Amino acid sequence: MTEEMLKQFHELKKMHPDALLLFRCGDFYEAYKNDAKECAKLVGIVLTKQDDGHCLAAFPHHALDTYLPRLIRAGKRIAICDQLEDPRTRRLVKRGITEEVAV
């Protein structure tokens, strides 16, 4: 995760502190830090540590329909963050919350 992406994550997480933030990054939805730990535990995916020391859990974007119901059944509020620009045209794309799922 680049410094710029981390800044985007922190800004969006500040606006949705009580939600588990699923952050679209290319072909994956990623969760970071404590959200990553929680997401990995709840849906049974691998938790990894990045070079910068941050925790990461990720799943393919096309598997959202598989993992989202599991998070909802666990009673989690979810904020889905998508890329709002074509990643082929920019190094860092604008991202924003496109859906909020509350239990």
User: One digit per residue, pLDDT tens: the chain, 103 residues?
Assistant: 778 888 999 999 999 999 999 999 989 999 999 999 999 999 999 999 877 778 999 999 999 999 999 999 999 999 999 999 888 888 889 999 999 998 7
Backbone angles phi, psi at 14, to 5 degrees: -60, -35
Q: What is the pTM of this model?
A: 0.90
3-86, CATH topology level: MutS, DNA mismatch repair protein, domain I (3.40.1170)
Backbone angles phi, psi at 34, to 5 degrees: -65, -35
